[in-house]
C-alpha cells in the first residue's frame, strides 16, 4: 500500500518534506529547512527517521529555503540520486543554497568571535562545501506538463504563481497496475499580482490525496491598492526626512517592490529617491526573473516590450560587498533600503535595522509572512525592543505591514484554488501552516466543499 509521511511543514510553515513510499520505491517531495522557533530549528540537527541513502528520487516544488534548504544535510547524510526541478528552480536553488551555506559560515564565525550565541560553541548546520555536491545532483524537468520520474512515478507540473518557477505537482503512482494520484499544492501565490502568472489548479480527474498549504489559512490580506498604500508610506516618510527599510527575500518580494517603485516613479506619484538593494543575490535573482519569460503574465510582458527595465528604478544602487553595505549607514537623506532576510532571521538587513530602528522618522515595511519566533514577527506584534548582535535596540521607527506584497494566497484565494479541482479529493491534508491557520482552513473546506479534510501532523504516515 502506498503511503505518505509528513517529515515537515506539518503544524508549522517551514521544513517542507513529504516522503512517498510506493512500489518498493521512495520519493521525497521538497527538502526544506525548519526556521523560526528554537524548537523548530532544533529539528534541522536531527537525522531523518529514514536513511537518506535509501531514498530513490527527489522533486522540488520551488526554490525557497523552507523547501530546499535542508538538501545539503540530506546529501551529506547519504542521498546520492537525482534532484528534479524545473530550470528556473534549479537556478534559484543554486543561488539560495550558496548564499545559505555562506551566511551560516559567516554567522557562526561572528557568533564565535563576539560570543552572542546562546550556545557555548556555535556550529554551522552546513557550509559552502556541503552545497556543491547538491548542485551536481540537480537535473531539469519541464516547467509545465507531464514528466516520468520513473516507471512508478509520473508528475504533472502547474504554475503556482508564488515565486519564479514555483509549481503545484500532481503525482501519479503506478503500483501493481493500479494508479493513485496525490496533489501537492506547493506554495500557492496570489491572483492578479504583477510579474508572475496566476496560480493554476491541477486538472487531474482522480485525486486520492491532496496536500494544500495553509500559510494564510485563517487570514485575508490587507485590502487596498498596493501602489496607493506604498505611495502614501513613501511620501509620508520622505516628508519627515526619514528612510525606509524593507526586509525582503532576494527572490520574489524584492522584484515586486522594484516593479511597483518603478511604476510609481514613472507616474510621478513618488519622488525619485535613492533605492539601495543591499544584496548581490537580489540582482542575480532579478536577472533570472527577466530571463524566464514563461512565468511572465501578459502585463509584465507588455511592460518589457515597451522598452526599459521594469524591475529597476531611476536612482538604483547595488551594494555588492560588505563595505558597500556599511556605506549605506552614512546615507542621511531619505532613501529606501531593500535587504534580506524577509523575516529578519539573518542577513544584512540586521545591520540596517540596528542602525535605523531607533529613529522615529524612519519606517520599516513588512511585506510578507513573518513566522513564529522570528524577529520579523516580534516587530509585527509591536515589540518595543529588538535583540540585534547581542544588543538591545529600541523600536521607534514606524512599522507598516503590507500584506498586499505577500507571495502567499490569502484564505479566500486558497479556497479559490481548491474550487478549481475537477473532482473532490478523497482526502485533504492541510500543510505548511501554523496550527490556527491550518485548522481554520480545514473547517472552511469541510463547510464549503464537504470534503474529508484534516490537519497534517509532523511525522504521521497516511495511506494513499
Ligand atoms: Zn515558498
> Are β-strands 178-184 and 167-175 bridged in parallel, bridged antiparallel, or unpaired?
antiparallel
pLDDT for residue 118: 67
Percent above pLDDT 70 for the chain: 99
What is the pLDDT confidence band of residue 239, given thresholds at 50, 70 and 90? very high
pLDDT at residue 154 greater than cutoff 70: yes
Tell me how far the alpha carbon of residue 135 lies from the centroid of ligand 1, in angstroms: 19
pLDDT for residue 110: 78
pLDDT at residue 308 greater than cutoff 80: no
Lowest mean pLDDT: which of 50-54, 282-286, 359-363? 282-286
> Ligand 1 being an ion, which residues bring their Cβ within 5 A of it?
64, 187
pLDDT at residue 350 greater than cutoff 70: yes
Tell me how far the alpha carbon of residue 57 lies from the centroid of ligand 1, in angstroms: 21
Average pLDDT over residues 242-248: 96
Q: What is the pLDDT of residues 108-128, one digit of tens each?
A: 887 777 766 667 777 899 999
Lowest mean pLDDT: which of 6-10, 240-244, 339-343, 452-456? 339-343
pLDDT for residue 19: 98
pLDDT at residue 250 greater than cutoff 90: no
Tell me how far the alpha carbon of residue 167 lies from the centroid of ligand 1, in angstroms: 10
Tell me how far the alpha carbon of residue 105 lies from the centroid of ligand 1, in angstroms: 24
Tell me how far the alpha carbon of residue 162 lies from the centroid of ligand 1, in angstroms: 7
The listed range with the strongest mean pLDDT (224-228, 365-369, 458-462) is 458-462
- Write a three-state SS string for the chain: CCEEEECCCCCCCCCCCEEEEECCEEEEECCCCCCCCHHHHHHCCCCCCCCHHHCCEEECCCCCHHHHCCHHHHHHCCCCCCEEECHHHHHHHHHHHHHHHHHHHHHHHHHHHHCCCCCCCCCCCCCHHHHHHHHCCEEECCCCEEEECCCCEEEEEEECCCCCCCEEEEEEEEECCEEEEEEECCCCCCCCCCCECCCCCCCCCCCCEEEEECCCCCCCCCCCCHHHHHHHHHHHHHHCCCCEEEECCCCCHHHHHHHHHHHHHHCCCCCCCCEEECCHHHHHHHHHHHHCHHHECHHHHHHHHCCCCCCCCCCEEECCCHHHHHHHHHCCCCCEEEECCCCCCCCCHHHHHHHHCCCCCCEEEECCCCCCCCHHHHHHCCCCEEEECCEEEECCCEEEECHHHCCCCCHHHHHHHHHCCCCCCCCEEEECCCHHHHHHHHHHHHHHHCCCEEECCCCCEEEC
CA 263 to chain centre: 24
Is the overall model pTM greater than 0.85, yes or no?
Answer: yes
pLDDT for residue 165: 98
Tell me how far the alpha carbon of residue 137 lies from the centroid of ligand 1, in angstroms: 21
Tell me how far the alpha carbon of residue 226 lies from the centroid of ligand 1, in angstroms: 21
What is the pLDDT confidence band of residue 445, given thresholds at 50, 70 and 90? very high
Closest listed residue to residue 50, CA positions, set 22, 80, 71, 19: 19
Q: What is the pLDDT of residues 56-91, one digit of tens each?
A: 999 999 999 999 999 999 999 999 999 999 999 999
Q: Classify the C-alpha dihedral 96-102-106-108 as positive or negative.
A: positive
Tell me how far the alpha carbon of residue 429 lies from the centroid of ligand 1, in angstroms: 18
What is the pLDDT confidence band of residue 249, given thresholds at 50, 70 and 90? confident
Average pLDDT, the chain: 94
pLDDT at residue 461 greater than cutoff 90: yes
Average pLDDT over residues 453-459: 98
pLDDT at residue 281 greater than cutoff 90: no
Tell me how far the alpha carbon of residue 188 lies from the centroid of ligand 1, in angstroms: 8
- 370-387 in b/e form (b: 16+ CB < 10 A) is bbbbbbbbbbbeeeeebe
Percent above pLDDT 90 for the chain: 80
Amino acid at each position: 500500500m502506498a503511503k505518505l509521511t509528513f517529515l515537515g511543514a506539518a503544524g508549522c510553515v517551514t521544513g517542507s518534506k513529504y516522503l512517498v513510499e510506493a512500489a518498493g520505491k521512495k520519493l521525497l517531495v521538497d527538502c526544506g529547512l525548519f526556521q523560526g522557533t528554537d524548537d523548530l530549528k532544533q529539528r534541522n540537527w536531527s537525522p531523518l527517521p529514514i536513511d537518506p541513502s535509501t531514498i530513490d528520487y527527489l522533486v522540488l516544488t520551488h526554490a525557497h529555503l523552507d523547501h530546499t534548504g535542508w538538501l545539503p544535510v540530506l546529501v551529506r547524510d547519504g542521498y546520492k540520486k537525482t534532484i528534479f526541478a524545473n530550470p528556473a528552480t534549479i537556478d534559484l536553488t543554486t543561488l539560495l543554497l550558496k548564499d545559505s551555506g555562506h551566511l551560516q559560515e559567516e554567522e557562526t564565525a561572528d557568533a564565535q568571535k563576539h560570543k552572542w550565541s546562546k550556545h557555548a560553541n556555535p556550529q554551522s548546520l552546513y557550509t559552502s562545501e556541503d552545497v556543491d555536491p547538491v548542485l551536481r545532483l540537480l537535473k531539469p524537468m519541464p516547467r509545465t506538463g507531464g514528466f516520468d520520474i520513473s516507471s512508478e512515478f509520473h508528475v504533472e507540473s502547474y504554475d503556482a504563481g508564488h515565486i519564479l518557477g514555483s509549481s503545484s505537482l500532481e503525482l501519479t503512482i503506478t503500483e501493481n497496475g493500479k494508479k493513485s494520484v496525490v496533489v501537492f499544492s506547493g506554495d500557492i501565490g496570489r491572483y492578479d499580482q504583477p510579474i508572475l502568472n496566476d496560480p493554476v489548479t491541477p486538472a487531474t480527474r482522480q485525486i486520492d490525496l491532496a496536500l494544500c498549504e495553509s500559510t494564510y489559512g485563517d487570514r485575508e490580506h490587507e485590502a487596498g491598492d498596493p501602489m496607493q498604500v506604498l505611495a502614501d508610506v513613501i511620501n509620508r516618510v520622505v516628508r519627515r526626512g526619514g528612510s525606509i527599510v524593507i526586509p525582503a527575500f532576494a527572490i520574489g518580494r524584492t522584484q515586486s517592490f522594484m516593479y511597483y517603485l518603478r511604476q510609481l516613479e514613472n507616474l510621478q506619484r513618488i519622488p525619485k529617491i535613492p533605492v539601495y538593494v543591499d544584496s548581490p543575490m537580489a540582482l542575480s535573482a532579478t536577472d533570472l526573473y527577466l530571463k524566464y519569460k514563461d512565468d511572465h503574465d501578459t502585463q509584465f510582458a507588455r511592460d518589457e516590450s515597451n522598452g526599459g527595465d521594469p524591475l529597476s528604478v531611476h536612482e538604483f544602487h547595488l551594494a555588492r560587498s560588505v563595505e558597500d553595505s556599511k556605506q549605506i549607514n552614512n546615507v542621511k537623506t531619505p532613501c529606501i533600503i531593500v535587504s534580506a532576510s524577509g523575516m529578519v532571521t539573518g542577513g544584512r538587513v540586521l545591520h540596517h535595522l540596528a542602525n535605523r530602528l531607533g529613529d522615529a522618522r524612519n519606517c520599516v515595511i513588512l511585506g510578507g509572512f513573518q513566522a513564529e519566533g522570528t524577529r520579523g514577527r516580534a516587530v509585527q506584534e509591536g515589540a518595543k525592543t529588538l535583540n540585534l548582535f547581542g544588543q538591545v535596540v529600541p523600536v521607534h521607527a514606524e512599522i507598516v505591514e503590507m500584506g498586499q506584497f505577500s507571495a502567499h494566497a490569502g484564505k479566500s484565494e486558497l479556497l479559490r484554488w481548491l474550487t478549481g479541482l475537477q473532482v473532490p479529493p478523497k482526502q485533504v491534508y492541510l500543510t505548511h501552516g501554523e496550527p490556527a491557520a491550518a485548522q481554520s482552513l480545514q473547517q472552511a473546506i469541510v463547510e464549503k466543499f464537504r470534503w474529508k479534510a484534516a490537519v497534517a501532523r509532523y511525522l504521521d504516515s497516511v495511506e494513499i
